[in-house]
Amino acid sequence: MVSFDREEAPGGPTIRGFSGTAFRVEDRIVPGGLWLTPDNALDWSPPALEALALGDVAGLLAIQPPPEFLLLGVGPAMRRPTPAFVNAVEALGFGVEAMDSRAAARAWNVLRGEDRWVVAALMPLISSS
């Protein structure tokens, strides 16, 4: 007989939901941007996507062991980060997976459920324009 046992989920922050303007990480509401590592969830005040530079995510990419890639939530709608940003991150040996921030929040939970060692930078769910 096949037995389905619930495996223990990896530790670290889980996005429990989002509203029109905020993320819910565990029991905390985060109204702005969000940095996620396998161990922490930190508030983040990102620049506009067009101004996003390597320095804005350098702390995420510096964790040890190094992350597999950067999951980038670009806000309420899909837009592409600048080639300069992507090239700078890739020059350090990391990939960039960009998607709207809601999709990135869902992807974070799936990836962490698989115990993948990734980091995420999620821009706010409200448009700055």
Read off the pLDDT of residues 12-70 as tens digits, 9 standing for 90 and up: 899 999 887 889 999 999 989 999 999 999 999 999 999 999 999 999 999 999 999 99
CA distance 127 to 129: 5
- How much is the pLDDT for 9? 56
Number of domains in the chain: 1
Instruction: State pLDDT tens for residues 77-118.
Output: 999 999 999 999 999 999 999 999 999 999 999 999 999 999
For residue 77, give both structure tokens: 């709608």
Whether 96 is covered by a domain: the verdict is yes
pLDDT at position 128, please? Answer: 56
125 vs 93, higher pLDDT: 93
In a domain, 26, yes or no: no
Residue 5 covered by a domain: no
Q: Is residue 23 part of a domain?
A: no
Q: Is residue 94 part of a domain?
A: yes
Domain extent at residue 73? 31-122
| CATH number for the domain that contains residue 37 | 3.40.1230.10
